[in-house]
Structure 1
């Protein structure tokens, strides 16, 4: 059997498993895979996205999988090219995103003998992938399709309820091109496992629902449950459940109402709030985790019950419970609006509020660090919301947003900070002939990492070292750097200018750089957190 036949069989199996988007970073050893993918694209069987930067390619595939909700493959050549996928694989692992990594390799017998571009890459992602396999062009042909089928099934997670990244290391022997490029075996199909019925919980204990980062489908389920059960819901911006949630839930958890909570039901992956973490760690609170996967969220090891779904028995025993939360939410929300309106300079929360108000029925991507926390203070938006909260890092945010915008097929807005943008500005670099999606990137440019001013390191005690080792201002002209990538950019410095920029139609990719003052960030954060105790 030949390497072209092996590559053709793998691509055919990807198509049989429902993969419709593949990201390719070209190279020599991966030539059989590249040619097979090009043929599949020519036949209309898949959409091929070509990137010359493997790290960006990985996050583009991640964004495509996040936005589409189905497995997406990313293909690289051998050597350091594979290593550049590690950040995206780590994020996919913790965020449970179905990413299929296919790395071309030389035959295993050449590892350790100085062959060009050859290393022990088959085990590179072991701590972070659901499954990995070596696929050899010299092995029986049936093994090619079987391994590709298993990889797609495990990545999608229907059997294990635990989607995430998988890795196929494909050992391709020379010759890499030839006439025998048709698959010699038929693709196989793997059935998905059925789900379990929800567990009915007894009414009675004063219950609070918490939803962290979650897909739009999970968020919709949580929102319906909160409304049907008449229970207060604290939901993060990327939960996709904010339509049924308390706007100021994070702030209310620092007040007296939180002391009355007797039971918490957790959905998604909450990572944003220390008050939430403190609540989940309380010994007097019953903790129930809802997760369809084996990798459930319980960092305090306190969950008394882990289930795939829940329902509540009858109405809540305390009809005033929800009313207390909604009344407090309204009071604190009004006070928050007055506080933010009184700020003389354009602040991060003000930028987030404007962005969320203008997204409409598009989709929103939130960068980690401060922007997603600023969005947590804003009113809910009808848009689907995405964020890389698996590991809550800033790496690859632009490329992820490009992938999401390409997948969802409607206008998308990314809100991120200047350091997050600079970290992945290369996500704007696409080859000639590659289409740019309808994506608006709003950069809250506060000249550094303002989130650190809100933490312990922002205290006056550490002022001498703060700017250099925490805030790390870059001094880069973000707008000029954007122009160098051939992307239209607009600078704004006032709320009116921002409003005007956001109201313009999103056609292709553009960037809005917003000058934000961070000198008063710590003082503003303290004032916001104090609101709950002033009502």
Structure 2
């Protein structure tokens, strides 16, 4: 099956699974794959097809079908001015709340802005009139399973947005479909194997209508809660609900669910494949946005696991394109149904934690990894902890003992390192009590001016702790740190700054000192702020330690 045909067949299949019963086509060449897939679906009795020679007429016909039926109705056009003729109907659907789907076939990106025939800038063509818009991307050969999951997820999201299932605000949606030749099908293969959808004709991602009250999730099968970054109050509520239901929780530090009952070192535990295979959850409930751990992402992509995602903000919450259900569900409420499986997760976290503790304490000197664990442990109850992106937040996630009596914040929205010092200062001023920020050296230097406070400005009770590995140490733990890339590593990724951060901090008017042992840390944190505490570390040694901790976790769970 050529890529354009594959996209068309999968798209139409998922539209039908999502409740589409009528579709409208205005003829064209670039839209041919989708038009033929719609015609095939009509022959199979899966939908009713309507064809009109004029795009404006076609689009208002779709508005009428959608308005009367209450179901989403797609209208398909070819590229160029054909797409502009949908605009009036899109505007009507916007104001009237009609679930119209504008399927706009397009030239591939290499033809845009080149003078190519019948080519305009179609992405974003309808502006704010649509509830959601996606430039779907050109289908490619050799990526069948990934693209199938992506396309089906996009269609599901488009239908949920058009019907207002999550927002309560139905209206039009645009899916822009750039297609390359060949545009005509090469046979009629079945949608099986890598092109298969959910069992029993179910949509890839279903949603709970916004008009229904948020009901607690059912006890159901063996369930693991994965709590990412999100509103702290929501995270705390889900941590409590999961505890009542007997569900283990793997939580990121900044989401509110990182409480005493969370599985310690969940990211390390999930990296032990044999243990996970033996204790795999049947269902994973995702709360917030998981942003830190590749093992968590791998679990969510596992086709053997049912993923249900809880909406905590108006943003779409399914980055992995794996959710079977996206819902506004409330936290569960007991009684717990624990057959020992959930207890095994908590016990495994404790074993991993004990092994990590032993490995960290066997190290000579104060490593960044131990620093992350010990900073969390040393803070008084009620303290604020602000975590920089890159390595520190991941070290805390993997190595520290979860604490529900701290307020933990991190800029995980887009996970940049910029503005972290200023964020920490602002949070500390609002918090009003002891506050600590843990951030890498490049994060610290990136927002150095955040240390400046003018005359008459309030100064925060903030201690900024900086593991200084003289550059971008996280890259030593990722693919760029492999020996094959050693020639250019230091200059392009390691990026040594060569600065004395204690002197830099003092020049900005803050008290500052360097420490070299774990014994010095409690006193440094207890001294109060504004203060900078620097711990000098080594990029390669930290990367080696990260690897040895993963191996130790595997041994602990063998």
**Interval of TM-score (by shorter of Structure 1 and Structure 2):** 0.5 to 0.7
TM-score (norm 1): 0.62
Q: Which residue of 1 aligns with 2:302?
A: 282
**CA–CA distance in 1 between the matches of 2:332 and 2:420?**
38
- Whether the 8 Å contact between 1:493 and 1:516 is mirrored in structure 2 is no
- Whether the 8 Å contact between 2:515 and 2:533 is mirrored in structure 1 is yes
Q: Which residue of 2 aligns with 1:407?
A: 430
> Among residues 383, 392, 402, which one is paired with 1:380 in the alignment?
402
**CA–CA distance in 1 between the matches of 2:329 and 2:467?**
38
Q: After TM superposition, give the deviation of residue 411 of structure 1 in Å.
A: 2.0
Q: Which residue of 1 aligns with 2:225?
A: 209
Q: Which residue of 2 aligns with 1:261?
A: 281
Give the alignment of 1:196-275 within 5 angstroms. Answer: 197-243=213-259, 244-255=261-272, 256-259=274-277, 260-275=280-295
> Among residues 354, 361, 365, which one is paired with 2:374 in the alignment?
354
Q: After TM superposition, give the deviation of residue 264 of structure 1 in Å.
A: 0.6
Question: What secondary structure is seen at the aligned counterpart in 2 of 1:414?
Answer: strand
Q: After TM superposition, give the deviation of residue 204 of structure 1 in Å.
A: 3.4
**CA–CA distance in 2 between the matches of 1:456 and 1:263?**
31
**CA–CA distance in 1 between the matches of 2:426 and 2:331?**
35
Q: Which residue of 2 aligns with 1:477?
A: 500
- Whether the 8 Å contact between 1:199 and 1:307 is mirrored in structure 2 is no
Question: What secondary structure is seen at the aligned counterpart in 1 of 2:312?
Answer: coil
Task: Find out whether 1:453 has 2:489 as its counterpart.
Answer: no
| Residues 314 and 503 of structure 1, relative CA distance in 2, 3 Å threshold | closer
- Whether the 8 Å contact between 2:365 and 2:518 is mirrored in structure 1 is no
TM-score (norm 2): 0.59
Q: Which residue of 2 aligns with 1:499?
A: 522
- Whether the 8 Å contact between 2:242 and 2:332 is mirrored in structure 1 is no
Q: Which residue of 2 aligns with 1:364?
A: 385
Give the alignment of 1:5-16 within 5 angstroms. Answer: none
Q: After TM superposition, give the deviation of residue 479 of structure 1 in Å.
A: 1.2
RMSD: 2.5
Give the alignment of 1:90-489 within 5 angstroms. Answer: 197-243=213-259, 244-255=261-272, 256-259=274-277, 260-312=280-332, 315=335, 317-360=337-380, 361-376=382-397, 377-381=399-403, 382-489=405-512
**CA–CA distance in 2 between the matches of 1:246 and 1:421?**
30
Q: After TM superposition, give the deviation of residue 503 of structure 1 in Å.
A: 2.5
**CA–CA distance in 2 between the matches of 1:456 and 1:222?**
35
Q: Which residue of 1 aligns with 2:180?
A: none
| Residues 228 and 471 of structure 1, relative CA distance in 2, 3 Å threshold | same
Question: What secondary structure is seen at the aligned counterpart in 2 of 1:201?
Answer: coil
Q: After TM superposition, give the deviation of residue 370 of structure 1 in Å.
A: 0.5
Q: After TM superposition, give the deviation of residue 195 of structure 1 in Å.
A: 9.7
Q: Deviations over 1:439-471 (max 9, x none)?
A: 111111111111111111111111111111111
**CA–CA distance in 1 between the matches of 2:395 and 2:288?**
20
Structure 2: runs of 5 or more not aligned: 1-126, 132-165, 170-209
| Residues 355 and 196 of structure 1, relative CA distance in 2, 3 Å threshold | farther
Question: What secondary structure is seen at the aligned counterpart in 2 of 1:534?
Answer: helix
**CA–CA distance in 1 between the matches of 2:168 and 2:421?**
29
**CA–CA distance in 1 between the matches of 2:214 and 2:231?**
19
Return 261-270 or 297-306, whichever deviates more: 297-306
Q: After TM superposition, give the deviation of residue 277 of structure 1 in Å.
A: 0.6
| Residues 533 and 161 of structure 1, relative CA distance in 2, 3 Å threshold | farther
Q: After TM superposition, give the deviation of residue 391 of structure 1 in Å.
A: 0.8
Question: What secondary structure is seen at the aligned counterpart in 2 of 1:486?
Answer: coil
Question: What secondary structure is seen at the aligned counterpart in 1 of 2:463?
Answer: strand
Q: After TM superposition, give the deviation of residue 430 of structure 1 in Å.
A: 2.1
Matched positions, count: 349
**CA–CA distance in 1 between the matches of 2:386 and 2:332?**
32
Return 230-239 or 293-302, whichever deviates more: 293-302
Return 370-379 or 318-327, whichever deviates more: 318-327
Q: After TM superposition, give the deviation of residue 355 of structure 1 in Å.
A: 1.1
Q: Deviations over 1:195-244 (max 9, x none)?
A: 96333333332111000112321221121012111111000111222222
Task: Give the number of the structure whose alpha-carbon radius of gyration is greater.
Answer: 2
Question: What secondary structure is seen at the aligned counterpart in 1 of 2:540?
Answer: coil
Return 237-246 or 255-264, whichever deviates more: 255-264
Q: Which residue of 1 aligns with 2:539?
A: 518
Question: What secondary structure is seen at the aligned counterpart in 1 of 2:226?
Answer: strand
Question: What secondary structure is seen at the aligned counterpart in 2 of 1:310?
Answer: coil
**CA–CA distance in 1 between the matches of 2:506 and 2:211?**
49
Q: After TM superposition, give the deviation of residue 336 of structure 1 in Å.
A: 0.9
Structure 1: runs of 5 or more not aligned: 1-125, 131-158, 163-193
Q: Name which structure has the greater RCO, CA cutoff 8 Å, separation 6+.
A: 1
- Whether the 8 Å contact between 1:346 and 1:517 is mirrored in structure 2 is no
**CA–CA distance in 2 between the matches of 1:502 and 1:297?**
37
Q: Deviations over 1:114-157 (max 9, x none)?
A: xxxxxxxxxxxx99xx9xxxxxxxxxxxxxxxxxxxxxxxxxxx
